[in-house]
Amino acid sequence: MRGETPIRERVRQRGYPMSAEERARLRQGLHKRGLSIRGFAARAGVHPATLSAILAGQSDPSPQTLTRLAGAWKDIRPHAATTQLLRDLETASP
C-alpha cells in the first residue's frame, strides 16, 4: 500500500514478526492460566492449527490474527491492552 512505513508493509504482507521470547511468554501465559491452545484459539476466533504454528515459530500472525489474539488476551487479562501490542508492532524492527 502506498505511504505505509516499511514495518507496516512487511507486516501486511508476511505477518507480525514475533520473537521467540514473545512466543514463549504467550505459551507460558496460557499454561499459567490453565488454557489450552484449542481453548484460547476458540476464544480468539482463530483455528487451533494457526495458533499452534505461531507458538511453534512456524508462522507469524497476520495483523487480523494478532488483533484477535490480543482481544482474547485482553478478555482474560484486562490490564493487557490491545493498544500495547499495536504499539509494539509499530516499534518492531523490520
Domain ranges of the chain: 6-91
4 pLDDT more than 60: no
Residue type, 26: L
Amino acid 79: pLDDT: 47
What is the pLDDT averaged over residues 64-72?
87
In percent, how much of the chain has pLDDT > 90? 24
Amino acid 66: pLDDT: 87
Grid cell in block for residue 66 = 494478532
DSSP string for 15-57: -----HHHHHHHHHHHHHTT--HHHHHHHHTS-HHHHHHHHTT
What is the pLDDT averaged over residues 54-75?
87
9 pLDDT more than 70: no
Amino acid 92: pLDDT: 57
55 pLDDT more than 70: yes
Q: Is 70 helix (H, G, I), strand (E, B) or coil?
A: helix
Fold of 6-91: 434 Repressor (Amino-terminal Domain) (1.10.260)
